[in-house]
Amino acid sequence: MNRRSFLKTSAATAAVAGLAPRTARAAVNANPAKRFVFMNLGGGWDSTYVVDPKPGFATVSQAPGEMLDYGNIQVWDWRPKVLPTDPDTFVKQFFDAYASQAAIVKGINLRSVSHDICAQRIYTGRQGGTSPDIATMIAFSKGFDLPVPYMILNGPAWAGPYGAAVGRVGETGQLTQLIDPLNAPYVSFRPTAPDEVDIETFHRATALRQQVTRGSTGFNRNRIQDFLDSLDRGDRLRDLGKSINFGGTVQTVVEIFRYNLSMCVMMQGPGGYDTHGGNIAQGPMQDSVFQQLFALFQALEAEPDPVNGGNMLEHTCLMLTSEMTRTPMLNGGAGKDHWPVGAVLVCGAGVANRQVGETGEGQVAMPLNLTTGAVAGQDLISMSSEMFAAGMLSLAGVESYDFFQLTPPLTALHY
Amino acid sequence: MTTNAKKIAFGLLSLLLVAACAEKKEKEITPRDPEAPRADIAYLTDVQHLVRVSLDLRGARPTLAEIEAVENASDPQKKIREYAVKYMEDARFRERVKEIWNEGFLVRQDRPYFPGPPQLLGLVNEDDFARSATQEPLELIAHVVMNDRPFTEIVTAEYTVANETLAAYFDITRPTDQGRGWLESEYTDGRPVGAGILASTSFYTRWTTTDSNQNRGRANAWTRALLCYDFFTRDIIVDTNINLADPNVVNNAVRTNPSCVGCHQSLDPLASHFFGYFIPEDVGEGDRSYPIKTYSADLEPRWQQGTGRDPGYFGTYAGDPNLATMGEQIAADPGFSNCAVKRFASVLTGVSVKELDIDHLVEIDRLHDWFLETDYDAKRLIEEIVMSPDYRIAGPNALTSLELSDKLHGLKLLSPEALNRSLRDITGNKKGDNPAGFGWEMESPLGYDLFENDIYGFRMMAGGYDGNFSTAPAHTVNATHILTLRMASADASGKMVDVEFAKSRSNRRLLTEVDSDTTSEAEIKEQIVVLNKLLYGEVVAVTHADVTDAYTLWSTVAARQDPVYAWKITLGAMLSDVRVAFY
């Protein structure tokens, strides 16, 4: 579905829905980030290692370390200094620098302990294969006019019906060969630039004619519109992409944003987190994640933002998560198994600096107030993955009703 | 038994078989008619229908002779049916069967689970290792279909299939006197015989398990693949008061906790079948000896400490349960045959299994009856699918409601595999042995085809899936898809035009109306008319706007360069047109 027809459809849906009583829509973030980075940690991270520590809890195996208190949020430093000359962990370095821009979300009920299902739920809010993920929904709604609204460096993605808005770099950066076929030595014939212009004119004319004859409405129309949109996107991807090094990670993200190629980027974090045995590996793995994030944030901070003013970081938001968390207690193999509760770090532009939700003894998700994130007081509700995903849309300034209808969004992510 | 007695017994058996065959031949099977075509839906023309059938069953476009045979036939639909049957004898149909079933199995991987056997290093490339080691169940399914065996044999076969490489990986005895490729073979490690794909190692390397999971993930992978039933789609409120890290607590909960029992009383007996498999993890190249051991009958009883539930099948328990009895139970389950029908129908019609369940129940029921009547004949099922009105949907017409038009999947996205195959086909490089033809294959030791790989290639970028980060094919184009399509089509066209003009007209595949120095507008347009028919299945007049636009492209480029170059550009453009991206 292209944006135009989508907007029509949603308007129609809204009109029909308007016949029935509806709850008031929550206000979306008035000052959302202009760009989003998603980092996925595959396998299910142990949230007690950094974002959801449980020292002193009888029912949670907490790794040694010390609490870092940043006022509104607390995180765990799994390897504090012993000697003054010891280096700080990257966890500490990251939060020392950026804790004031961070929200930590705890206690998302995932209702499954399956990698696949939990991944679908934490990223799409739902499951079933046809629901788009948060990044796709944000990119489709707010970055539709960019060449590749949502670029996947690596990691999982669910485009749902909005596949035309999503693109991939490829495991070994093979996108560079599509951007400039001279990088593809196996290709023996390459049209010149004037040829390409003529070819596109031909493609556009036939596609428009097909839209009249075979795609006047519905599914067919949307597919042909996707083709037409992608012609334009492909051109701009080639033009802008020539200046980008797609072989890196942090630098690639910065360059994608510098050339305004995409609004959202997905990257796979280092490490494999499915530690059914040897859970202690979570510490160094998560530290390497924050090493990369620290480098990313510093690079974005050093990069001027020609479109929005200031530096890039001032307009960028990060979502770091994993498909699930791990059981509170260690098993017989010193590992931890799957746990159906999600935890997320959201950090950067537009984010409310607060803890959102909580887990209690046994790492059980506690009901929370969706507006304040507090787990005490009025209007407490158990947080579903739909509420979280709708909240991420709200954080991005996207009306979540268009995707989640009456699901109340977790607006505590923004002020 | 004496030799004579054996001969008599064999003779009697032969007589019985002949009688059975004769009886089967005499049995007239009349398919129930599908629902009649509707006035508010536009359907493909006969030639367009032929193009779709050809692309779906062999990944290649029909030849001009095939198109003209349909055009000139007194009963074009009958002729298309004949071609459908013929296309299913093509070796490329075997690949299509594997592609259809990988969407359920997701076993196809770019990297082999284990490093290649040392005796083959240097002789076999990485792509061969990956294809051999990961596609065993898909190859067995293709073997059953190509050899016209009842489809139930995929779960009851008393053999596996192996090529030379797979036989070197595992304890497999493969005939050495029947040439190369995938042959019926036998595991010699004692695993149950008669379980078909259920006993294939590749499934268990793709879907591994852990001490705490106790094969439940594998059980669900099997039910998802073979029964179209996914336990995970149930919305589960997991009781977080249970310590999931404590096996004793978990074992108790799955029997007594109401939020667990609902699924586990069905799932766990299935999982209990798989305890004989042990897949070594993370073993270095130097530490392993080949053939790799992956099964031990001694480990089968581990379910007693694992799930604690007897091996069974949705409340049915065999006397001496093993994978073979489970195979029989699956084969007898209408859920299995129904799922097979939906998998074939879904990929061929472009409608998801979920949507088939909602909007196409009558047609699925009809096809299922047909599948049962033909003794699970997959080819006849496919024939019935591709000849049905649902398959021939072209899109909306003036009578179509908006609601219906959203459900009419009249444009199917050309998969990267089909794009690759069709470009290879028209450039005469069908088998990858003609360097003058199209093909993006990496040199040894990697050897990957860039259209069928995501480490170095463009499969996902052109709408495919890797089975890990992306678990289903795309249904629409995006920017990288367009760029891949254009680059490949231009490259193929550049190669093909030279090859075509080097031949006499009568021996050419596409450029049959012009020569390298032809510049007459009438002749160029006549050629474009033929190309429209060949590439898109569209019969148009020389005055049609499609012809005019293609001629404008040709003449603009010819004025800048020369006629041959202009054909390279024009043909490349036509091969990356919206009517190629979608068919």
Mean pLDDT, rounded, for A319-328: 97
* Residue B441: domain span: 416-581
Q: Is B402 on the interface with A (CB under 8 A)?
A: yes
Does A268 share its domain with A168?
yes
Is residue B30 very low, low, confident or very high in pLDDT (cuts 50, 70, 90)?
low
Q: What angle do CA B228, B232, B237 make, to 5 degrees?
A: 150
Answer whether residue B402 shows pLDDT above 70. yes
pLDDT at B250: 81
pLDDT at B221: 94
* Residue A309: domain span: 25-180+249-413
Q: Is A178 on the interface with B (CB under 8 A)?
A: yes
Does B319 share its domain with B437?
no
pLDDT at B232: 80
Cα A377 from Cα A364, distance rounded (Å)? 18
Is residue B7 very low, low, confident or very high in pLDDT (cuts 50, 70, 90)?
very low
ipTM: 0.91
Domain boundary among B307, B332, B357: B332
Alpha-helical segments (H) within A28-149: 90-98, 115-124, 134-142
CB A33 within 8 A of CB A314: no
User: Is A5 among the domain residues?
Assistant: no
Mean pLDDT, rounded, for B427-450: 90
pLDDT at B239: 77
Does A296 share its domain with A170?
yes
pLDDT at A388: 98
| Chain B residues 324-363 with a CB less than 8 Å from chain A | 352, 354
Strand partners, A151: A167, A265
Domain boundary among B300, B332, B364: B332
User: Is A99 among the domain residues?
Assistant: yes
Mean pLDDT, rounded, for A193-208: 98
User: Is B14 among the domain residues?
Assistant: no
Does A193 share its domain with A221?
yes
Cα B551 from Cα B250, distance rounded (Å)? 71
User: Is A15 among the domain residues?
Assistant: no
The pair of three-digit structure tokens given for residue A38, joined into one six-digit string: 């998603």
Among the partner residues A178, A184, A231, nearest to B480 by beta-carbon distance:
A178
Question: Strand, helix or coil at A295?
Answer: helix
Domain boundary among A197, A225, A241: A241
Is residue B16 very low, low, confident or very high in pLDDT (cuts 50, 70, 90)?
very low
Which of the pair, B233 or B150, is modelled with greater confidence?
A: B150
Mean pLDDT, rounded, for B212-233: 92
pLDDT at B244: 75
Answer whether residue B398 shows pLDDT above 80. yes
Does B544 share its domain with B422?
yes
Interface probe, candidates B41, B449, B478, B496, chain A, greatest A C-beta count within 10 A: B478
User: Is B47 among the domain residues?
Assistant: no
Q: What angle do CA A327, A356, A376 make, to 5 degrees?
A: 95
Does B173 share its domain with B300?
yes
CA B293 to chain centre: 29
Mean pLDDT, rounded, for B383-393: 97
User: Is B366 among the domain residues?
Assistant: no
pLDDT at B387: 97
Which of the pair, B389 or A112, is modelled with greater confidence?
A: B389
Answer whether residue A128 shows pLDDT above 70. no
| Chain A residues 125-154 with a CB less than 8 Å from chain B | 127-130, 147-148, 152, 154
Does A358 share its domain with A237?
no
Does A175 share its domain with A193?
no
Q: Is B542 on the interface with A (CB under 8 A)?
A: no
User: Is B77 among the domain residues?
Assistant: no
Does A275 share its domain with A402?
yes
Which of A12-16, B27-31, B214-218 has the highest average model confidence (pLDDT)? B214-218
CATH number for A151: 3.40.720
Choose among A168, A68, A105, A172: nearest CA to A359: A105
Q: Is B576 on the interface with A (CB under 8 A)?
A: yes
CB B564 within 8 A of CB B497: yes
pLDDT in tens, B56-81: 999 999 999 999 999 999 999 999 99
**At a CB cut-off of 8 Å and minimum separation 6, what does B190 contact?**
B295, B296, B297
Contact (CB<8Å) B486/A188: no
Q: Among A7-21, A165-179, A225-239, B250-264, which is the least confidently predicted range?
A: A7-21
Does B420 share its domain with B310?
no
Overall domain count for chain B: 2
Does B115 share its domain with B257?
yes
Is residue B234 very low, low, confident or very high in pLDDT (cuts 50, 70, 90)?
confident
Strand partners, A198: none
pLDDT in tens, A35-94: 999 999 999 999 999 999 999 999 999 999 999 999 999 999 999 999 999 999 999 999
Cα B169 from Cα B290, distance rounded (Å)? 6
pLDDT at B282: 57
Residues of A in contact with B244 (CB under 8 A): 113, 327, 337-339
Does A112 share its domain with A256?
yes
Residues of B in contact with A113 (CB under 8 A): 238, 244
pLDDT at B210: 81
Domain boundary among A201, A218, A241: A241
Overall domain count for chain A: 2
Does A79 share its domain with A60?
yes
Does B283 share its domain with B168?
yes
Mean pLDDT, rounded, for A142-153: 96
Q: Among B246-260, B290-304, B560-574, which is the least confidently predicted range?
A: B246-260
Report the phi/psi class of residue B537: left, alpha or beta, with left for phi > 0 and alpha for psi in -120 to 50.
left
pLDDT at A207: 98
Distances (CA, A) of B446 to B121, B126, B434: 11, 5, 19
Cα A250 from Cα A148, distance rounded (Å)? 18
pLDDT at B86: 98
The pair of three-digit structure tokens given for residue A187, joined into one six-digit string: 């290709």
Does B302 share its domain with B425?
no
Contact (CB<8Å) A226/B477: yes
Does B176 share its domain with B311?
yes
Does B204 share its domain with B318?
yes
Contact (CB<8Å) B478/A113: no
Mean pLDDT, rounded, for B134-144: 97
User: Is A13 among the domain residues?
Assistant: no
Residues in chain B: 583
Does A222 share its domain with A255?
no
The pair of three-digit structure tokens given for residue A191, joined into one six-digit string: 């049209």
User: Is A343 among the domain residues?
Assistant: yes
What's the longest Cα–Cα distance across chain B? 86
Interface probe, candidates A171, A187, A192, A266, chain B, greatest B C-beta count within 10 A: A171
Among the partner residues A111, A154, A218, nearest to B402 by beta-carbon distance:
A218
pLDDT in tens, B470-506: 888 999 999 999 999 999 999 999 999 999 999 999 9
User: Is B276 among the domain residues?
Assistant: yes
Mean pLDDT, rounded, for A351-379: 96
Choose among B344, B222, B342: nearest CA to B271: B222
Burial of B494 (0-12, 13-18, 19+ CB in 10 A): buried
Classify strands A66-69 and A325-326 as parallel, antiparallel or unpaired. unpaired
Answer whether residue B4 shows pLDDT above 70. no
User: Is A393 among the domain residues?
Assistant: yes
Percent of chain B with pLDDT over 90: 80
Domain boundary among A241, A258, A275: A241
Contact (CB<8Å) B477/A362: no
Burial of B413 (0-12, 13-18, 19+ CB in 10 A): buried
User: Is B199 among the domain residues?
Assistant: yes
Cα B139 from Cα B131, distance rounded (Å)? 10
Q: Is A164 on the interface with B (CB under 8 A)?
A: yes
Mean pLDDT, rounded, for B150-173: 97
Distances (CA, A) of B230 to B225, B252, B339: 9, 23, 12
pTM, two decimal places: 0.89
Cα B336 from Cα B344, distance rounded (Å)? 12
Distances (CA, A) of B102 to A325, B106, B343, B347: 30, 5, 10, 11
Does A385 share its domain with A236?
no
Residues in chain A: 415
**DSSP assignment of B481-542, as one string?**
HHHHHHHHHHHHHHHHHHHHHTS-GGG-SS--S--TT---HHHHHHHHHHHIIIII-----T
Burial of A251 (0-12, 13-18, 19+ CB in 10 A): middle
Domain boundary among B304, B332, B360: B332
Percent of chain B with pLDDT over 70: 93
User: Is A18 among the domain residues?
Assistant: no
Cα B210 from Cα B217, distance rounded (Å)? 9
CA B129 to chain centre: 20
Does A207 share its domain with A261?
no
User: Hunting for tokens 């950094």 — which residue is that?
Assistant: A50
User: Is A149 among the domain residues?
Assistant: yes
Does B213 share its domain with B320?
yes
Does A267 share its domain with A138?
yes
CA distance B396 to chain A (A): 7
